[in-house]
């Protein structure tokens, strides 16, 4: 008898204070189950409702083997398709089915994807500081645990604390998180000039613009950073302005990475074909899981475009493991982000607060960091497990999201 889906459940948990959503698919074979990441941290309750109300009834009784067929079935089931809510639900199921496939084959997923093309995954971490001295201290801290690639920002993505006054803002301007794009750009160029003077040419820098400047500003900004030889500059425009990438890419020598906000293949097709992006940075669960990520990577490989998947604190260890299994097996791996709440390798090194312990209490088998590289377990499937009782101890809140209420000094909204 074929192995079938018996139940599809969505587990909400927030062990590090950030909402995570993990799908668990149980089968008609005792003890055989799979886990997948469906984490859209600002909408976990909605994705959970979608999974339990619409996706589970669609899937119960179907064969676990048919991963590609079930991906397409879910993708087109509601007729309107391609968006973060539906894609996250599909991702949770898709990763869980791959996890089951690996367990049935008795192999870690990277073996099913063609086997290892590299033995460790080079990663970067986020260094930050209120001023250049704090930033350099943070950078040196990461260098001391072996990191060679480091993202540098001063004050996260810029901007004031939500609700605090913004110097020079228009009278009676709306409450929000204010950013002065010109000031951010001037400070960032000065930052990298100083970092190169103080830290030399060996270290590899990345920087995340986080789409907070206009495309015209981005063209000049990227060019002004050319002398500092960044490994890449990230999200210089929003997905709505992806058509600008070609002009910007031709105007600067700084490699560009883009795509953590992608939810539709049409957002990246042309950018890859035209080589106006150098690294694709999609968030695996926002594009629908492992199946679309493998397809995206294979397509990009034809055009010399590499990967650097999004791996923030709002991705579960299940999703992080899926990323590393793919990174191990594809030819056009570029670099891997490994950020987040004292993220997994940081916990490995410095488990100093209850965030660390909570994450390890809920999830086992997480990818491990060692001296600049991340490694996954060789257990069959994704290699990660979840303790549902522990997960239930870290319930999710669903507050209004504040940090994305970003505004310009004149009070107008700006994409975060």
Burial class (CB in 10 A: 0-12, 13-18, 19+), 187: middle
Find which of ligand GCO, Mg ion, none residue 385 binds, CB within 5 to 8 Å per kind: none
Which one of Mg ion, ligand GCO, none interacts with residue 314, CB within 5 to 8 A by kind?
ligand GCO
Please tell me whether residue 109 adopts helix, strand or coil conformation.
helix
Q: Crossing angle of helices 290-301/317-329, nearest 10°?
A: 30
Pick one of 208, 278, 314, 327: the residue that binds Mg ion (CB under 5 A).
208
Asked if residue 314 binds ligand GCO (CB under 6 A), the reply is yes
- Pick the stretch among 84-92, 197-205, 306-314, 319-327 that binds ligand GCO (CB under 6 A): 306-314
Least Å from the CB of residue 206 to ligand GCO: 9
CA distances from 218 to 87, 242, 248 (A): 29, 12, 7
Shortest spacing between CB 211 and Mg ion, in angstroms: 9
- Catalytic-labelled residue, pool 110, 126, 207, 210: 210
Query: Among 289, 312, 372, 381, which residue interacts with ligand GCO (rule: CB under 6 A)?
Result: 312
> Applying CB under 6 A, does 86 fall inside the site for ligand GCO?
no
Asked about 210 being catalytic, the answer comes back as yes
Nearer to ligand GCO, 260 or 327 (CB): 260
Distance CA 292, CA 265 (A): 9
Please report the beta strands in 128-259, taking only residues with DSSP state E, as ranges in sequence order.
Answer: 149-152, 177-178, 204-208, 232-234, 256-258
Q: Taking CB under 6 A as the criterion, which residues in 101-160 touch ligand GCO?
A: none
We find the least distance from the C-beta atom of residue 127 to ligand GCO, in angstroms, to be 13
Marked catalytic residue, from 110, 149, 157, 262: 157
Spell out the residues 6+ positions from residue 300 whose beta carbon is closer than 8 angstroms to its own. Answer: 272, 280, 306, 307, 332
Q: What is the DSSP string of 361-400?
A: HHEES--EEETTEEE---SSBT--EE-HHHHHTSPPP-PP
Position among 339, 343, 406, 414 found at the interface with ligand GCO (CB under 6 A)? 339
Cβ proximity to Mg ion: between 13 and 406 the closer is 406
- Nearest distance from C-beta of residue 210 to Mg ion, angstroms: 6
| Interface of this chain with ligand GCO, residues 185 to 224, rule: CB under 6 A | 208, 210
User: Nearer Cβ to ligand GCO, position 42 or 375?
Assistant: 42
Helices assigned H by DSSP within 144-180: none
Q: Which does 12 bind (CB under 5 to 8 A by kind): ligand GCO, Mg ion, none?
A: none
Determine the size of the site formed for ligand GCO (CB under 6 A).
Answer: 8
Does 327 sit near Mg ion (CB under 5 A)? no
Which residues are CB-contacts of 199 (< 8 A; sequence separation ≥ 6)? 136, 139
C-alpha separations of 359 from 329, 340, 370, 388, 394 in Å: 27, 12, 18, 12, 10
Interior/surface letters 329-353, b for 16+ CB within 10 angstroms, e for the rest: bbebbbbbbbbbbbbbbbbbeeeee
Residue 325 among the catalytic residues: no
Residues 245-264 that bind ligand GCO (CB under 6 A): 260
Query: Residue for token digits 């990438």?
Result: 245
Phi, psi (rounded to 5 degrees) for 38: -125, 35
Distance CA 128, CA 178 (A): 19
> Nearer to ligand GCO by C-beta: 27 or 355?
355
The mark string for 248-267 relative to Mg ion (x by CB under 5 A, - otherwise) is ------------x-------
Residue 286 found at the interface with ligand GCO (CB under 6 A)? no
Instruction: Summarize as ranges the residues that interact with Mg ion (CB under 5 A).
Output: 208, 260
Instruction: Summarize as ranges the residues that interact with ligand GCO (CB under 6 A).
Output: 208, 210, 260, 310, 312, 314, 337, 339
Catalytic residues: 157, 210
């Amino acid at each position: 008898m074929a192995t079938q889906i018996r139940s599809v459940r969505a587990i909400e948990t927030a062990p590090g204070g950030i909402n995570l959503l993990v799908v668990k698919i149980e089968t008609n074979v005792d003890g055989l189950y799979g886990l997948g990441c469906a984490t859209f941290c600002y909408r976990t309750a909605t994705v959970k409702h979608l999974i339990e109300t619409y996706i589970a009834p669609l899937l119960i009784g179907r064969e676990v083997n048919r991963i590609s067929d079930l991906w397409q079935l879910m993708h087109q089931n509601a007729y309107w398709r391609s968006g973060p809510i539906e894609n996250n639900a599909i991702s949770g199921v898709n990763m869980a089915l791959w996890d089951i496939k690996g367990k049935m084959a008795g192999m870690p997923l990277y073996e099913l994807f063609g086997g290892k093309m590299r033995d460790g995954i080079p990663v970067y971490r986020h260094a930050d500081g209120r001023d250049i001295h704090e930033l350099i201290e943070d950078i040196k801290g990461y260098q001391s645990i072996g990191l060679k690639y480091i993202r540098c920002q001063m004050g996260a993505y810029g901007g004031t604390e939500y609700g605090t006054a913004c110097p020079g803002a228009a009278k009676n301007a709306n409450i929000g998180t204010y950013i002065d794009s010109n000031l951010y750009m001037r400070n960032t160029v000065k930052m990298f000039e100083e970092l190169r003077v103080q830290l030399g040419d060996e270290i590899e820098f990345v920087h995340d613009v986080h789409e907070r400047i206009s495309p015209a500003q981005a063209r000049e900004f990227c060019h002004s950073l050319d002398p500092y030889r960044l490994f890449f500059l990230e999200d210089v425009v929003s997905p709505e302005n992806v058509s600008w990438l070609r002009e910007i890419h031709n105007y600067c020598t700084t490699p560009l990475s883009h795509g953590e906000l992608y939810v539709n293949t049409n957002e990246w097709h042309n950018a890859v074909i035209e080589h106006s992006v150098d690294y694709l940075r999609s968030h695996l669960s926002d594009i629908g899981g492992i199946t679309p990520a493998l397809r995206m990577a294979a397509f990009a490989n034809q055009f010399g475009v590499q990967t650097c998947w999004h791996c923030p604190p709002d991705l579960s260890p299940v999703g992080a493991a899926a990323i590393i299994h793919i990174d191990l097996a594809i030819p056009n791996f570029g670099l891997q982000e490994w950020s987040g709440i004292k993220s997994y390798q940081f916990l490995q090194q410095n488990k100093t607060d209850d965030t660390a312990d909570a994450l390890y209490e809920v999830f086992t088998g997480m990818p491990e960091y060692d001296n600049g590289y991340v490694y996954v377990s060789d257990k069959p499937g994704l290699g990660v497990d979840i303790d549902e009782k522990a997960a239930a101890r870290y319930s999710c809140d669903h507050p209004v999201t504040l940090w994305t209420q970003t505004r310009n000094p004149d009070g107008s909204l700006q994409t975060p």
